[in-house]
């Protein structure tokens, strides 16, 4: 059977992507605001390479760049051989499309529905900065691995509950293990940490909350789920609701999975964090030892 070998939680923002393009193209490198994020994600890139996944499932949220409000799915899965980049209003960035894997897309759809996750199936999904902003920081081009994207509503109320996203993670793990063969699957969940981008609270930055979240998620999922989405919104800004997506990643891993790397920064308006977790034996032994 296929297996989940690790998980990553990571933030996304439009500027993260634009700053990557700018930083890599400029002789001066990254801006002072974003240099720490580039530096901090070097280790993530290295760990992804060592984890050597055959397939990646990404739980993310679209920002009205593909879906629109006339039909807004709470949960949607991309099924196809290719996922193009969405135009967010400024035109697309110079990045290759994502590869899909039909066998995985069809399998996950079937298995998730079997486990009572009735996802909207998107056969022509275009992906926005929810994935493309952090991707070049953690994977080299051409993208080394096909992806199955799962989009979660963070746009229109009511949002799914924290517990629903934990259940999604549990169902993802079982669905992966029902896949024939021995593929190694990495589950990535992406959402901003604390941030709010409208109203008088614009720019709220609760780094204490972000650090607490990164510290507690590996070993205390239940505690963080119990906090509830609205409490994260109150403390960390409305868009901190996206932290709930990280629960799907943690729940897709076993209790024996361990955090191998965490990093946090606050470049501009969005709390940016990364957490890499690995199942026992998924990484070369020295990496698991190095952290102790």
Structure tokens at 110: 């079937």
Whichever of 141 and 256 has its CB closer to another protein, that residue is: 256
CA angle 195, 96, 3 (to 5 degrees): 75
Output 67 or 179, the one with its CB closest to another protein: 67
Do 33 and 268 touch, CB atoms closer than 8 A? yes
CB of 239 to another protein, least distance (A): 7
Catalytic site residue from 12, 195, 220, 286:
195
Q: Which is nearer to another protein, 109 or 194 (CB)?
A: 194
| Separation of alpha carbons 77 and 149, rounded Å | 6
Nearer to another protein, 41 or 148 (CB): 41
Q: Which is nearer to another protein, 112 or 277 (CB)?
A: 277
- Rounded least distance, CB 142 to another protein, Å: 26
Minimum distance, C-beta of residue 59 to another protein, in the bound complex (Å): 17
CA dihedral 140, 142, 148, 150 (to 10 degrees): 60
Work out how close the CB of 10 gets to another protein at its nearest, in angstroms, rounded to a whole number: 14
DSSP lists the bridge partners of residue 57 as: 148, 187
- 203: DSSP letter: T
Is 63 marked active-site? no
For residues 75 and 121, what is the distance between their CA atoms, to the nearest angstrom?
9
Tokens standing for 266?
Answer: 């606050």
**Ordered strands of the 147-152 beta sheet:** 120-122, 75-78, 147-152, 55-60, 184-190, 3-10, 272-278, 258-265
Number of neighbours of residue 157 by Cβ within 10 angstroms: 6
- Smallest separation, CB 69 to another protein (Å): 5
Contact at 8 Å (CB) between 43 and 275? no
For residue 81 the two structure tokens come to: 């051989």
129 among known catalytic residues: yes
Among 63, 129, 220, 286, the active-site one is 129
Active site residues: 129, 195
């Amino acid at each position: 059977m296929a297996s989940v070998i690790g998980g990553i939680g990571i933030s996304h923002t439009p500027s993260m992507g634009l700053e990557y393009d700018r930083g890599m193209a400029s002789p001066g490198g990254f801006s002072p605001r974003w240099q720490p994020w580039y530096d901090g994600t070097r280790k993530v890139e290295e760990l992804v390479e060592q984890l050597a996944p055959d397939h990646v499932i990404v739980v993310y949220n679209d920002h009205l760049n593909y879906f629109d409000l006339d039909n807004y799915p709470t949960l949607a899965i991309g099924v196809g051989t290719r996922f193009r980049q969405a135009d967010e209003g400024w035109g697309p960035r110079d990045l290759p499309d994502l590869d899909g894997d039909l066998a995985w897309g069809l399998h996950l759809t079937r298995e998730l529905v079997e486990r009572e996750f009735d996802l909207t199936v998107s056969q022509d999904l275009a992906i926005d900065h929810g994935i493309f902003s952090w991707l070049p920081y953690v994977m080299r081009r051409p993208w080394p691995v096909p992806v199955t994207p799962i989009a979660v509503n963070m746009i229109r109320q009511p949002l799914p509950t924290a517990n629903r996203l934990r259940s999604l993670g549990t169902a993802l793990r079982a669905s992966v293990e029902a896949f024939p063969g021995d593929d190694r699957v990495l589950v990535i969940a992406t959402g901003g940490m604390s941030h709010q981008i409208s109203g008088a609270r614009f720019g709220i930055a609760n780094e204490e909350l972000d650090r607490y979240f990164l510290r507690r998620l590996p070993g205390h999922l239940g505690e963080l789920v119990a906090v509830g989405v609205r409490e994260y919104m109150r403390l960390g800004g409305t868009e901190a609701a996206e932290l709930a997506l990280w629960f799907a990643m943690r729940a897709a891993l076993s209790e024996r999975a361990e955090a191998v790397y965490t990093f946090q920064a606050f470049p501009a308006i969005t709390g940016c964090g990364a957490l890499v977790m690995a199942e026992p034996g998924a990484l070369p032994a020295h990496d698991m030892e190095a952290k102790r």
